[in-house]
């Protein structure tokens, strides 16, 4: 019996649901504006939970800034969003007597249960063209990770490099989705790697630990990356502490920390 790409997609979704406790949704079942890559109905309720002392006006201002991240290149916009994600969004609001400034947090890094985690397949985005990435991982309605899958390598013409090329095409065709991207994952079951929107294929790295300790294996199974990177507490730790921009001339580089060695 052939293990197809659809089978592989379903196995990844099942892993996120059963092993990692994510909520599953099928993209086409969600009524939304396909020109907006955010899972918007999730965002404001999440911000209310995470920022319980802030008034509605401050939260709505944060959503407005989130939906209209300036002008510039994809990298420039993503750099702004990365700052929002890690440090919060600076907003001003009127409290009835005077204007005040505050920070609205997008993620509760201290209490993982205050956040929502969704695994969604076939998430349609219309930008230059209409595309549906295989799987998108959302936290509090933010499309933080795009996962591109390819059929297990039973045919010579299909391998994980094709997934990388597809991700690059998506960045061109549905750029708006990647404004909110933390990192990407590509997998063909035999090889699973993660990298950022600025990374060449050679800089996509395997994740070789499910629990933060090293594994004595040269080639990590596909579930090691997914369970290792997306366990909720570890995922939030990666988002907060292991993603940064390196300011280089002529181009900025986005860096993702990862466990890539097989020995301490």
pLDDT (tens digit, 9 = 90+) per residue, 240-260? 999 999 877 667 899 998 644
pTM over 0.75: yes
End-to-end CA distance of the chain: 40
In the chain, the percentage of residues whose pLDDT exceeds 90 is 76
- 142 pLDDT more than 50: yes
Whole-number Å distance between alpha carbons of 216 and 218? 7
- 68 pLDDT more than 60: yes
Whole-number Å distance between alpha carbons of 98 and 81? 28
In the chain, the percentage of residues whose pLDDT exceeds 70 is 88
Phi first, then psi, for residue 254 (nearest 5°) are: -95, 130
pLDDT, average across residues 156-183: 91
- 216 pLDDT more than 50: no
Read off the pLDDT band of 261 (50, 70, 90).
very low
């Amino acid at each position: 019996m052939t293990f197809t790409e659809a089978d592989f997609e379903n196995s990844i979704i099942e892993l996120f649901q059963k092993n990692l406790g994510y909520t599953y949704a099928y993209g086409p079942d969600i009524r939304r504006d396909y020109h907006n890559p955010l899972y918007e109905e999730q965002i404001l309720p999440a911000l209310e939970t995470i920022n319980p002392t802030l008034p509605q006006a401050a939260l709505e201002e944060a959503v407005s800034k989130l939906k209209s991240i300036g002008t510039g290149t994809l990298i420039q916009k993503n750099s702004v969003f990365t700052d929002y994600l890690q440090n919060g969004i600076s907003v001003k609001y009127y409290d009835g007597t005077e204007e005040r400034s505050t920070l609205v947090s997008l993620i509760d890094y201290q209490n993982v249960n205050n956040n929502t985690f969704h695994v969604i397949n076939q998430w349609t985005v219309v930008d230059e063209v209409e595309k549906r990435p295989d799987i998108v991982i959302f936290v509090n309605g933010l499309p933080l990770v795009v996962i591109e899958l390819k059929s297990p390598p039973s045919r010579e013409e299909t391998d994980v490099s094709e997934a990388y090329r597809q991700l690059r095409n998506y960045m061109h065709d549905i750029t708006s989705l990647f404004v909110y991207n933390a990192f990407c994952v590509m997998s063909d079951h035999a090889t699973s790697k993660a990298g950022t929107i600025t990374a060449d294929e050679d800089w996509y790295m395997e994740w070789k630990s499910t629990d933060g300790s090293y594994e004595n294996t040269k080639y990590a199974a596909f579930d090691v990356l997914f369970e290792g990177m997306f366990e909720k507490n570890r995922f939030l730790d990666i988002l907060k502490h292991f993603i940064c921009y390196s300011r280089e001339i002529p181009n900025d580089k986005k860096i993702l920390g990862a466990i890539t060695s097989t020995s301490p």
